[in-house]
Amino acid sequence: MSLTVGVLALQGSFAEHVTSLSGLPDPNLAVVEVKTPASLAKCDGLIIPGGESTTMALVARRWGLIEPLREFAGKGRPVWGTCAGMIFLANAAVAGTKEGGQELIGGLDIGVSRNFFGAQINSFETRLPAPQSLQSVQRGVPRDNIKETFRAIFIRAPAVMHVGKDVEVLGEYKLTDEERAEDASRPEKVVVAVRQGSLLATAFHPEVTDDRRWHALFVDMVSASAAKLGKAVESADAKQLAETDAHLVAPKDVSKPLPVITTPQSPFMR
């Protein structure tokens, strides 16, 4: 069965996800950039990339995508949020929220601390134990030679501070003594990857590594849900519509300019 996986292409590291998905050895997978409700409706699953969650929410509101995104996830179509995408999917941002709050899609029963791991300069890389579901992923995906762990790259990353009872924890990060010494109230460990039914979220960025297992795991979730819910549309139709999307520019609304971003520039803040 052909599948269409969309990548929300409003802001952030969407191009890297498109490249990762396109690298999966699956001839029946169509990958599309999503900027409008019309092209979202053609997708069987969606990735919300990393970037800056408050900006992403503002742009999504401007494109009329907030409600369609909630409906899409609410129907049980799989959604995977990485980093800012994880924040966007959370039911609550419990720390580090913008003054006046920020709009979330919600649905995932977690509370996140938005910038738990600090600023851009505190970005880091580590290896974490691979959950069983990642180790058993098939699809002949490229990965590095260590199966039991995976490369986890944290860029201005959030952490999950609370998980609801239906949330499966897929990854945890144990804080170093040094990290804990900075602030005595810091926990020994935090959750950095979760799954709740058709929703997947990771605080790190698999799309900037060449290990494709997280993408393969997500495509497996999309495949299972399309078998249950039916396919959204023929992949060729979705691809055609998304090609139109890819060339759209954000609607102008001079009365509400986008905020100036004051955090340091990075490839994830285009």
Ligand X SMILES: NC(=O)CC[C@H](N)C(=O)O
Q: How far is the CB of 249 from ligand X (least distance, A)?
A: 22
Stretch that binds ligand X, among 17-25, 45-53, 179-187, 215-223 (CB under 6 A): 45-53
To the query of whether residue 247 is one of the catalytic residues in this protein, the response is no
Q: Would you count residue 156 as binding ligand X (CB under 6 A)?
A: yes
Q: Would you count residue 53 as binding ligand X (CB under 6 A)?
A: yes
Q: How far is the CB of 78 from ligand X (least distance, A)?
A: 20
Q: Would you count residue 52 as binding ligand X (CB under 6 A)?
A: yes
Q: How far is the CB of 207 from ligand X (least distance, A)?
A: 11
To the query of whether residue 243 is one of the catalytic residues in this protein, the response is no
Q: Would you count residue 173 as binding ligand X (CB under 6 A)?
A: no
Stretch that binds ligand X, among 103-111, 152-160, 186-194, 236-244 (CB under 6 A): 152-160
- Give 198: exposed, middle or buried? Use CB within 10 Å, 0-12, 13-18, 19+: buried
Dist. CA 65–CA 40, nearest whole Å: 9
Q: How far is the CB of 158 from ligand X (least distance, A)?
A: 5
Stretch that binds ligand X, among 16-24, 137-145, 153-161, 188-196 (CB under 6 A): 153-161
How many residues belong to the site for ligand X (CB under 6 A)? Answer: 13
Q: Catalytic: which of 205, 215, 243, 247?
A: 205
Q: Catalytic: which of 16, 43, 83, 215?
A: 83
Indicate which single residue of 158, 175, 192, 216 sits in contact with ligand X (rule: CB under 6 A). 158
Q: Nearest to residue 29, comparing CAs of 201, 216, 157?
A: 216
Amino acid at 232: A
Q: Would you count residue 155 as binding ligand X (CB under 6 A)?
A: yes
Q: Which residue, chain included where needed, has tokens 């509370």?
A: 111
Q: How far is the CB of 11 from ligand X (least distance, A)?
A: 10
Query: Among residue numbers 86 through 125, which ones bind ligand X (CB under 6 A)?
Result: 87, 114-115
Dist. CA 36–CA 146, nearest whole Å: 39
Q: Nearest to residue 242, comparing CAs of 83, 7, 57, 1?
A: 7
For ligand X, give the closer residue by CB, 30 or 161.
161
To the query of whether residue 43 is one of the catalytic residues in this protein, the response is no
Indicate which single residue of 32, 58, 84, 167 sits in contact with ligand X (rule: CB under 6 A). 84
Q: How far is the CB of 211 from ligand X (least distance, A)?
A: 18
Catalytic sites, residue numbers: 83, 205, 207
- By the criterion CB under 6 A, which residues form the site for ligand X? 50-53, 83-84, 87, 114-115, 155-156, 158, 268
